[in-house]
């Protein structure tokens, strides 16, 4: 998809996925009614494989170690992207290499989810290089936050795949985050989440 066409498609849309237009979808993955339906990725469980990538700023293998250990505890395999622990100025790697790393994990049938190692800056520079039809066909969990939000919005708007605004692999995984993450990516079913951190205080009840 050409950069100008991509930017026009993305900026012409509201951020709500429910309002995705048929005209924009036809520019990305086709205009049929079937392709306009959202794709909900399958949940993760023992034996699943998560790919960790650096589509924006750099992160080291040491910084994602806690997330790797958590995956191991859950019986989930981890593949590190080739740009983890690389640095190219304030980015992990040149734009084309970061886009190729992302699409490589999307198109790798052995990988079930793609988790970004860090936000920072730079993910918007690779968006015009992505194949949104391929992303839709793969239908994988894609997760991150901060700068990665631009990627999540683009994927949901232009491919219809439901994305996950959640921790990056270099996040701090406290008990509440672990509980929330497992409930969402493992599809453990709906249940209320309660903050247990006693440092949080309600100043005025709603």
The sheet that has 164-165: what strands, in order across it?
77-80, 49-53, 113-116, 141-144, 164-165
Overall average pLDDT of the 40-52 stretch: 95
Does some domain include residue 55? Answer: yes
The pLDDT tens digits of the residues spanning 98-108 come to 999 999 999 99
pLDDT for res 141 = 97
Q: Look up the domain containing 164 and give its range.
A: 3-17+41-185
| Helix locations, 42-161, DSSP H | 65-73, 95-106, 132-138, 149-159
Considering the chain, what percentage of its residues have pLDDT values greater than 70? 76
Does some domain include residue 191? Answer: no
| CA angle, residues 69, 123, 28, in degrees to nearest 5 | 110
Overall average pLDDT of the 177-201 stretch: 71
Provide the mean pLDDT of the chain. Answer: 84
Does some domain include residue 204? Answer: no
Domain count, the chain: 1
Does some domain include residue 162? Answer: yes
Which pLDDT band holds residue 29 (cuts at 50, 70, 90)? low
pLDDT for res 183 = 87
Q: Is the dihedral of CA 162, 167, 173, 176 positive or negative?
A: negative
pLDDT value at 150 more than 50: yes
58 neighbors 92 (Cβ within 8 angstroms): yes
CATH number of the domain where residue 75 is located: 3.40.50.10740
3-state secondary structure of 69: helix
* Region for 108 from its dihedrals, namely left if φ exceeds 0, alpha if ψ lies in -120 to 50, beta otherwise: beta
Does some domain include residue 22? Answer: no
pLDDT for res 189 = 44
147 neighbors 153 (Cβ within 8 angstroms): no
Nearest to 41 by CA among 167, 143, 181, 168: 143
Cα atoms in the Cβ-side hemisphere of radius 13 Å centred on 169: 32
Q: Which two tokens stand for residue 121?
A: 């800056």
35 neighbors 25 (Cβ within 8 angstroms): yes
pLDDT value at 16 more than 90: no
Higher pLDDT, 80 or 202: 80
Does some domain include residue 72? Answer: yes
């Amino acid at each position: 998809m050409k950069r100008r066409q991509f930017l026009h498609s993305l900026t012409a849309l509201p951020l709500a996925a429910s309002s995705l237009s048929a005209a924009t979808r036809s520019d990305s993955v086709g205009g049929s009614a079937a392709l306009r339906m959202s794709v909900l990725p399958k949940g993760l469980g023992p034996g699943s494989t998560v790919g960790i990538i650096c589509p924006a700023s750099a992160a080291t293998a040491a910084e994602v170690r806690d997330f790797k250990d958590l995956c191991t505890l859950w019986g989930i395999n981890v593949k590190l992207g080739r740009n983890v622990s690389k640095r190219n100025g304030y980015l992990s790697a040149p734009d084309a290499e970061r886009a190729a790393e992302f699409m490589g994990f999307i198109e790798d049938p052995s990988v079930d989810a793609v988790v970004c190692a860090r936000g920072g800056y730079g993910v918007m520079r690779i968006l015009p290089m992505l194949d949104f039809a391929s992303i839709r066909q793969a239908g994988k969990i894609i997760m991150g936050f901060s700068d990665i939000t631009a990627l999540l919005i683009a994927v949901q708007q232009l491919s219809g795949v439901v994305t996950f605004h959640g921790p990056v692999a270099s996040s701090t995984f406290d008990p509440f985050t672990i509980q929330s993450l497992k409930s969402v990516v493992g599809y453990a079913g709906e249940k209320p989440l309660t903050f247990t951190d006693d440092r949080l205080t309600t100043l005025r009840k709603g």
